[in-house]
Amino acid sequence: MTTLSRATLDQLLDDLAEQGWAIVANALPADLTLELAQECRARANQGALQPAGVGRGSAHGVQEGVRGDHIQWLEPGQCAAGDRYLAMLDDLRGQLNQALYLGLEDYEGHFALYPPGTFYQKHLDRFRDDDRRAVSAVFYLNSDWLPEQGGALRLYLADGRELDVLPDAGTLVVFLSADLPHEVLPATRERLSLTGWLRRRGNSPL
């Protein structure tokens, strides 16, 4: 099973508890990061990634003026690299529950590809009518990313600061879904990631 190192886990848990967000460079083995990037590109080449929508239920729809990524949901058993990534997240879920008592039960997430020039406007990850998403986890798959290529994840921190995180391969960003507004800035090259949410049992009906 692929897991985060003990030192990485301890730092992640401390940062999440103290400030509501954590950033880990080189979080997973380089070979796994590369395999996940190859899987994302293969799915894109096969036409499996579809324009992402916004909203829920009858209000759900594609709005390219709000977000421009193409996605496909990650499910167990689809590919070996994906299963290794899901195993890491399940271990993280258990560690978060033990340390922070978050009551996390499962994970949902997807591959995401942002074509050049696309973005995702400032938003929160938790829906107004569904409080299950508790912790957001974004893992980046882009090798040799340069600052001038753009594409940063901009976090709007509670103290009024803005923190830009480049989508460099191996970087894992974890934050409390209900508390941290964020946006994806446009890039000059394709931008790949695995984006998802560790979820607790919701108070609203499915």
Task: Map out the domains of the chain as residue ranges.
Answer: 6-51+67-200
pLDDT of residue 206: 42
pLDDT of residue 139: 98
pLDDT by residue (tens digit) across 145-197? 999 999 999 999 999 999 999 999 999 999 999 999 999 999 999 999 999 99
Count CA atoms within 13 Å of residue 130 on its CB side: 12
pLDDT of residue 166: 98
Is the backbone of residue 144 left (phi > 0), alpha (psi -120 to 50) or beta? left
Round the average pLDDT of the chain to a whole number and report it. Answer: 91
Count CA atoms within 13 Å of residue 43 on its CB side: 23
Closest among 155, 162, 165, 138 to 69, alpha carbons compared: 138
pLDDT of residue 128: 66
Higher-confidence position of 99 and 202: 99
Identity at 168, one-letter amino acid code: D
Tokens 């324009």 correspond to what residue? 51
Q: How far is CA 79 from the centre of its chain?
A: 18
Q: How far apart are the first and last CA of the chain?
A: 31
Letter string b/e over residues 136-152, b meaning 16 or more CB atoms within 10 A of that residue's CB = bbbbbbbeebeeebbbb
Residues 7-31 have a mean pLDDT of 96
Position 205 pLDDT exceeds 50: no
Tokens 């107004």 correspond to what residue? 128
What is the topology classification, in CATH, of domain 6-51+67-200? Jelly Rolls (2.60.120)
User: How far lies 162's CA from each of 76, 122, 126, 191, 206, in Å?
Assistant: 35, 12, 20, 21, 34
Position 26 pLDDT exceeds 70: yes
pLDDT of residue 94: 96
DSSP letters for 129-177: TB--EEEEEEEE-BTT--GGGB-PEEEE-TTS-EEEE--BTT-EEEEET
Residues 89-114 have a mean pLDDT of 96
pLDDT by residue (tens digit) across 112-158? 999 999 999 999 887 666 789 999 999 999 999 999 999 999 999 99
pLDDT by residue (tens digit) across 39-77? 999 999 999 999 886 554 544 454 556 889 999 999 999
pLDDT of residue 61: 53
pLDDT of residue 33: 97
Q: Which two tokens stand for residue 90?
A: 């399940």
